[in-house]
A and B are shown apart, each in its own frame.
Chain A
Amino acid sequence: MAHQKVAAEMTNPNRALRGKYAIVGVGQSDLGQVPGFSSLGLLNKAMHNAVEDAGLAKTDVNGIICRGPDDVYTHHQRMGELLGIDAEFSTTLDNGGASQILSIILAVMAIDAGLCDVVLCGYGRDSWSRTHRDTSTRMSVPLVPPEQERAEFNAEVGMFGAVAMHALGASRHMALYGTSKDDLGSIAVAFREHALRNPSAQMKQPLTLEKYHSGRQIVDPFNVYDCSLVTDGAGAVVVCSAERAKDLKQPPVLISGFGTFNNLRGWYYDEHMTDTAARRSGEKAFSMAGIQPEDIDTAQLYDCFTYMVLTQLEDYGFCKKGEGGPFAASGALALDGSLPCNTSGGQLSEGHVEGMLQILEGVRQLRHAYQSERQVTNAEWALVSGHGGNTVCHSSLILQRGGG
C-alpha cells in the first residue's frame, strides 16, 4: 500500500518527543449513577484523585486542559476556579471523543514549548443524572435535543443521534465485507466479560451472544448492546516530563507515540465510514513510537459503538481491512487473547466518559496495577484511541511502561 510506504519512509518529526513526557497520575470519579455531582463536581473529584495518585500537590499543577461538557462555556476556567489554581497554560478542547488524547498531546506540546510543567487533563459529564435520574426527568427530556431538531439536511429527513450516524458505517461495512451481527456481538460480549472483573464497572450482568441477539433494536443494524452506556463520570490524568516522573510516587508510563487525523470532509465522503481517520492517526503514532501493531500488548479503543472497535482493529493494522469481524469473533479481544482490548469493560460495559477511562486503563495496565485476573501479563505497550466530533476526528496514543 502506497500510504504505508510513505509513512515508513517518513521520519516522524515528533520522534524527538518519544518517551520525553509521561503520565504520572490518574484519577476518576465514581461511575454510573452518581447523584449529587454536577459535571464539574465529578471532574473536580477526578482531578483531585489524579494529583493525589501522582504524589503531587495542588501547587505543582500549572496547566489545565479540559474537554466540555458541551454546555459549559470556557470549562477550564471553571475548573481552575474550583481547584483554586491559576494556570500558566489552560484551554478547553472541542474535538468530541478525540479530545481526551488530544489534551495529552497538547499538554506535551505546551510543556515542551516551555509554557508550563505539570498539566492536568480531564473530562467529566453527569450524563445519567441529566436524563435518567427520576421518572419526571425521564419523561421530560426530549430524545431529540433542540440543536439536532435544527440541523439542516438531517432533521427534516428524520436523521437523529449518534447511534444512527455510526450505524450507517456498520451497515456499509456489513455490505462490503460480510461483517455479521455475530461479529459485532462478540465485541460486546468480550468487553462485558472484562467489566465483570472490574468492581467500578456499570454493568454487572453477564452477556452471552444469545442475549446480545435478543437486545432491543435501536437503529438497524444496532441494538441496545451495540451502544455505549449513559454514565455519570469523570477521569483525569497528570502529565509532566519523564525526568521529573522518576521522583514521583507511581511507576511512570511514558508517552511514546501520538497522532491525529481528522476526516473533516465528512463521514459520507469517500470511504470514511469503513476506512476511518484511525488509520492515518495510527500510522503517525506507530511511526513516532518506532513500533508496529504486533508490538502492542493491550489496546484500549474508543467504543462508542461495537462497530467502531471493529473498524479500528482494521484501521490500526491489527488485521486486514474487512477482517475485523472474524478477528474479533476469534476471541482475540479477551484478556488472554492475542490483543486484550478494553480490559476494564470499555464504554460499552464499564462506563462512557468520552475515552478518558480508556487512557486510565492503559496506564494502569502498564503499571501492572492489577491482580492476575485483570492484568495483561507483562504488558509493556498500550495503544489508546479517541474518536468523535461527528464521527470524523481521531487521536491515537501509544504508551510504554517506564522505568525499565
Chain B
Amino acid sequence: MTAVSRPTPRPSPETSHFWEACQEGRFLLPKCADCGSHWFPPSGFCPECWSRNWEWEHASGLGLLHTFVIFRRQYHPAFEPPYAVGVVHLKEGPRMLSRIVTEDIDKLRVGMALKLTWDRSGDWMIPAFQVL
C-alpha cells in the first residue's frame, strides 16, 4: 500500500502570505486599520467597511467551538476516521474551519474554549485547534 498524502493548501494570491506565516508558526489575520475588524479568509478589502487600508496582525490563537462534526465514514484515504472538524469562533471575531485535536473525541461540546496548535502535514504547517 502506498500512503496517500493529504490534500495540501492551495494558496491564492490573497492567501499566500497567510500560509507563508503558518510555515514559520505564525497565525495571522487581516485587520482593518479603519474600522478595526478582523476577517477570514484573507482578502484584499475589508468586508465590513470596504477599506483597502489594512494590515496583517498576530492573532491570539484563542477561540470557542462554534460547532463541530465527527467524520465516522472515510471520505479521503489520508483521513482516517473518526476525526473531528469544527468551526472555531476566533477571539478576534472571524470564524474558521479547523481540525479539532482532542484525546477524547466523544467529549467535545459546542462552546468549549480552544487554543491554536499546529497540524503537520508533509511539508506544511496547518492551523488546528485543541481543547484548552
Q: Which residues of A contact B (CB under 8 A)?
A: 143-144, 149-161, 164, 167-169, 171-172, 175-176, 216-221, 265, 268-269, 273
Contacts and interface: CB of A to CB of B under 8 A. Distances in A.
Q: Sort A-B residue pairs by CB-CB distance and give the 5 closest, nearest first.
A: A175-B110, A155-B7, A172-B67, A217-B72, A220-B70
A152 B9 contact: yes
B75 A143 contact: yes
A156 B11 contact: no
B99 A158 contact: yes
6 contacts: A149-B7, A152-B12, A156-B6, A158-B71, A158-B79, A172-B110
A160 B96 CA distance: 15
Given A164-B69, A217-B73, A153 B41 contact: yes
A263 B27 CA distance: 28
Contacts of B67: 168-169, 171-172, 175, 273
A126 B119 CA distance: 39
Given A161-B75, A219-B71, A268 B85 contact: no
Contacts of A160: 75-76
B98 A175 contact: no
Contacts of A269: 95
Contact of A218 (B41, B72, B85, B128): B72
Interface in B50-96: 66-76, 79, 83, 85, 87, 95-96
Contact of B68 (A143, A151, A171, A216): A171
B121 interface: yes
Contact of A156 (B7, B66, B71): B7
Nearest to A152: B10
B118 interface: no
A161 B7 CA distance: 14
Contact of B85 (A158, A172, A217): A158
Given A168-B69, A175-B109, A159 B9 contact: no
Interface residues of B, number: 38
Nearest to B75: A160
Nearest to B83: A158
A150 B98 CA distance: 16
Contacts of B45: none
A157 B126 contact: yes
Nearest to A150: B10
Nearest to B128: A157
Contacts of B10: 150-152, 155
Contacts of B68: 168, 171
Contact of A154 (B66, B95, B97, B128): B97
A151 B98 CA distance: 14
Interface of B: 6-12, 15, 41, 47, 66-76, 79, 83, 85, 87, 95-99, 109-111, 119, 121, 124, 126, 128
A291 B10 CA distance: 49
Contacts of B124: 156
Nearest to A164: B69
A25 B72 CA distance: 43
Contacts of A149: 7, 76
B99 A157 contact: yes
Given A144-B75, A155-B10, 10 more contacts: A152-B11, A153-B96, A157-B97, A158-B79, A160-B76, A171-B110, A172-B67, A172-B110, A219-B70, A221-B69
A164 B110 contact: no
A144 B99 CA distance: 18
Nearest to A169: B67
Given A158-B76, A175-B111, A268 B66 contact: yes
A220 B119 CA distance: 22
Contacts of B12: 152
A52 to B, nearest CB: 42
Contacts of A217: 72-73
A171 B8 CA distance: 27
Contacts of B75: 143-144, 158, 160-161
Contact of B76 (A144, A167, A216, A265): A144
A113 B128 CA distance: 52
Most chain B Cβ neighbours within 10 Å, of A156, A164, A172: A156
A167 B70 CA distance: 9
A159 B110 contact: no
B70 A156 contact: no
Nearest to B11: A152
B72 A164 contact: no
A66 B6 CA distance: 36
Contacts of A143: 74-76
Contacts of B66: 172, 268
A152 B96 CA distance: 12
Nearest to B88: A268
B97 A220 contact: no
B85 A159 contact: yes
Contacts of A176: 110
